[in-house]
Homo-oligomer: A and B are copies of this chain.
Amino acid sequence: MNHYDDLIAFERQTQALEQVAGRLGWDQETMMPRGAAPQRAEEAEALSHVLHARHTDPRLGEWLQDIDEASLDPVGQANLRHIRRRYDRQTRVPVKLAGELARLTAEAQGQWAEARAADDFAGFAPVLARIVALKRDEAQALAAGTDPYDALLDDFEPGATGAELQAMFDALRPRLVALRDRVMGAPEQPAPLTGRFDEQAQMTLTRDLAAAFGYDMAHGRIDKAVHPFSSGSGLDVRITTRTSAHDPFGAVYSTIHETGHACYEQNIDRAYLLTPLGQGVSMGVHESQSRIYENQLGRGRAFTGWLFDRFRDAFGAMNVNDADAFWRAANRVHPGYIRTEADEVQYNLHVLLRFDLERDMIAGKLAVADLEEAWNARFEADFGVAVDKPSNGCLQDVHWSVGLFGYFPTYSLGNVYAGCLFKALTADMPDLDDHLARGNAATVTAWLGETLQRHGGLHEPKTLMTQACGEAPSEAPLLDYLEEKFAALYRL
């Protein structure tokens, strides 16, 4: 047995344990009795110690040094790339710094929740400042001479750089601001869907929706959770969703979104099961799947036509009573401070704001003490509205308080990638709308499975997207799609 086989055998067990940890997280959000939380924290920590010890096991270092990369096939080389990247990252950060960050962010999450509830940014700023200082140290350690922000970004989007994203987002922003202005100023605003919608019927509908998109229930399940997520890889990929009596679109679009993530995981080549290639390759690529399912497909005119009939089956008569009005209701652009509630037009503006601010914080150009002011100024510039309180501004997201820097931009990168994929898809599948109008979105999953999903972690994200789309990814397809769609929707 040579060292590559040793490495893969060891990694396979590690991957299996990662799946166990993921399933424990799923249980915590769906099934765990409420009184079990303190014990669960110890269970999760014990498992995380086991995983950390495996990720930094000295044998990995020896094997990685000994293996002759050139002797491996492309799958072997990709496995090696993933394992080496993780090993290098885990061993570059000093143990003391990693420990401090873990402790600080564990405490900060609760402090952030309290500060948000009290709308007290000043009280939270010293904690956040300490986190930013430690993240800058971590970024320095990881970067090993290259750009520190890029080193953080690399955890979520391997190979991407801040400069490259900046160029993309700078092109995105003005056209989105302009589109937002035109849409908000349109004389004819769509009516929202109102009324009460049976929550049991919503749950039944979510199962139909997941099936419509080709989600495989023999290797998954759907449950409720406060914040929907998808979880697991390979043969066990679970979705969660939520229902609300007054907002059935919440259940519908969070289900379709998570179905996108889940189909990606389910459709990865089974040969990669429990190896580093057996998972979605990056956050941006993952988000491209959830977003194209949710927006380009799920909120399109063709699919909402089918969905309108399902709504009438499930809920009876509604205040929105034709398919066109239903489509418009599902795509309503509405003012709001909160990223997670934003529509397709405004969502990326929320993200771009965070990207610019976090890059400046990591570069040392923006002090945490000045964050609130910077946030509010930028928000007013892009959204035309003044932020009224920190919980609607810079305290709204948990990310920074748990040390997630370099994560936000992957949301918009995912949207950009979804735009590129949708352009390629429509070119490749002339009868796409016929399928969607019959609620058959599984054909799209088959297309995405073949062009993108099956590859798992084989290719680097940008290479994968370029292959799938037949051209290098850019923001242009997303912008063209949004401008065309919302011009039609708002009769601009």
Contact = CB atoms under 8 A, between A and B. Distances in A.
Interface in A14-69: 14, 16-17, 19-20, 23-24, 27, 31-40, 42-43, 45-47, 49-50
A459 interface: no
Contacts of A38: 235
A13 B46 contact: yes
Interface stretch (A86-94, A213-221, A350-358): A213-221
Interface string A67-93: 000000000000000000000000000
A47 B34 contact: no
Interface in A177-234: 216-221, 234
B17 A43 contact: yes
Interface string A235-258: 110100000000000000000000
A49 B13 contact: yes
A439 B426 CA distance: 65
A274 interface: yes
A39 B221 contact: no
A236 B36 contact: yes
A359 interface: no
Contact of A42 (B31, B46, B49, B274): B274
A218 B17 CA distance: 28
Given A23-B27, A39-B234, A17 B50 contact: yes
A12 interface: yes
A141 interface: no
A35 B221 contact: no
A456 to B, nearest CB: 15
Of listed A14, A17, A43, A274, residue having the most chain B CB within 10 A? A43
A404 B12 CA distance: 30
Contacts of A19: 39, 43
A367 interface: no
A20 B36 CA distance: 13
Nearest to A37: B235
A448 interface: no
A273 interface: yes
A234 B37 CA distance: 11
A219 B33 contact: yes
Contacts of A33: 217-221, 235-236, 238
Contact of A35 (B34, B42, B45, B218): B218
Contact of A32 (B20, B24, B236): B236
B218 A40 contact: no
A335 to B, nearest CB: 41
Nearest to A53: B50
B219 A46 contact: no
Given A36-B235, A236-B36, A42 B12 contact: yes
Contacts of A220: 33
Contacts of A219: 33, 35-36
Contacts of A13: 46, 49
A43 B31 contact: no
A31 B31 contact: yes
Contacts of A47: 16-17, 20
Contacts of A20: 20, 24, 43, 46-47
Contacts of A35: 216, 218-219, 235-236
Nearest to A238: B33
Name the residue in A24, A45, A50, A238 with the highest tally of chain B Cβ atoms < 10 Å from its Cβ. Answer: A50
A221 B45 contact: no
Q: Which of A38, A234, A235 has the most CB of B within 10 A?
A: A235
Contacts of A24: 20, 23
Interface of A: 12-14, 16-17, 19-20, 23-24, 27, 31-40, 42-43, 45-47, 49-50, 216-221, 234-236, 238, 273-274
Question: Considering the complex of A and B, which 4 residue pairs feature the smallest CB-CB distances, nearest first?
Answer: A36-B236, A16-B46, A35-B218, A39-B235
Given A17-B43, A20-B24, A31-B221, 16 more contacts: A17-B50, A19-B43, A20-B20, A20-B43, A20-B46, A23-B24, A23-B43, A32-B236, A33-B217, A33-B218, A35-B216, A35-B218, A36-B219, A39-B236, A40-B235, A42-B274
